[in-house]
């Protein structure tokens, strides 16, 4: 089983290379200063999100970033999987699926009622991992986004 630990202050240098690699794969332009600015509050314990580092602390193999919110329909604390990334050299070994399985159990202990995974398309690799992990697509739902 893949080790998973909550990222804290001092984990920036372990996280930054993985964040840069993930954002490069996604075609996102990310500057180190902006990544550090976004990481700071989460690693300091802000209640808006959490990052879990996968693998050994000295040589992490991936991460999952979670954003928290509140859902009346789901009865309380809810979260969205903001990012999940596993080193390309070890993909295909079930680590992503394992993370999608471990995260809900770990977060349920903290009172989480729902973890949502938003995927780019029904045939995307993340959609396949989510289906295998027991996640279900909401019927007839669309996700609309407005950025500020």
Q: Is residue 146, in this structure, part of any structural domain at all?
A: no
**pLDDT over 80 at 109, yes or no:** yes
Rounded to the nearest integer, the mean pLDDT of the chain is: 90
Q: Is residue 114, in this structure, part of any structural domain at all?
A: yes
Contact (Cβ atoms closer than 8 angstroms) between residue 78 and residue 69: yes
Residue 129, pLDDT score: 87
Number of domains in the chain: 1
Mean pLDDT of 106-122: 89
Mean pLDDT of 13-42: 93
Residue 58: pLDDT band with limits 50, 70, 90: confident
Q: Is residue 137, in this structure, part of any structural domain at all?
A: no
Q: Is residue 91, in this structure, part of any structural domain at all?
A: yes
Handedness of CA 38, 22, 128, 105 (dihedral sign): negative
Residue 143: pLDDT band with limits 50, 70, 90: confident
Ranking 54-63, 76-85, 124-133 by mean pLDDT, the lowest is 124-133
- In sequence order, the β-bridge partners of residue 49 are 67
Q: Is residue 76, in this structure, part of any structural domain at all?
A: yes
**pLDDT over 90 at 88, yes or no:** yes
Q: Is residue 148, in this structure, part of any structural domain at all?
A: no
Most trustworthy range by pLDDT among 64-68, 102-106, 130-134: 64-68
Q: Is residue 105, in this structure, part of any structural domain at all?
A: yes
pLDDT in tens, 60-86: 999 999 999 999 999 999 999 999 999
Contact (Cβ atoms closer than 8 angstroms) between residue 55 and residue 96: no
CATH number assigned to the domain comprising residue 22? 3.40.630.30
Q: Is residue 138, in this structure, part of any structural domain at all?
A: no
Residue 50, pLDDT score: 95
Structural domain span for residue 84: 4-132
Sheet with strand 49-54: strands edge to edge: 4-6, 49-54, 62-71, 76-86, 114-117
Residue 10, pLDDT score: 93
3-state secondary structure (DSSP) of residue 15: helix
Angle at 12 between CA 2 and CA 105, to 5 degrees: 35
């Amino acid at each position: 089983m893949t080790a998973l630990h909550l990222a804290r202050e001092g984990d920036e240098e372990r996280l930054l290379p993985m964040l840069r690699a993930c954002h490069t794969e996604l075609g996102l332009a990310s500057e180190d200063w902006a990544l550090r600015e976004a990481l700071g509050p989460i690693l300091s314990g802000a209640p808006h999100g959490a990052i879990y580092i996968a693998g050994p602390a000295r040589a992490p193999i991936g991460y999952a970033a979670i954003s928290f919110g509140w859902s009346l329909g789901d009865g309380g604390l809810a979260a969205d999987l903001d990012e999940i990334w596993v080193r390309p050299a070890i993909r295909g070994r079930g680590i992503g699926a394992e993370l999608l399985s471990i995260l809900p159990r770990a977060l349920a202990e903290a009172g989480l009622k729902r973890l949502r995974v938003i995927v780019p398309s029904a045939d995307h690799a993340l959609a396949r991992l989510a289906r295998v992990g027991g996640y279900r697509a909401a019927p007839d739902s669309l996700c609309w986004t407005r950025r500020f």
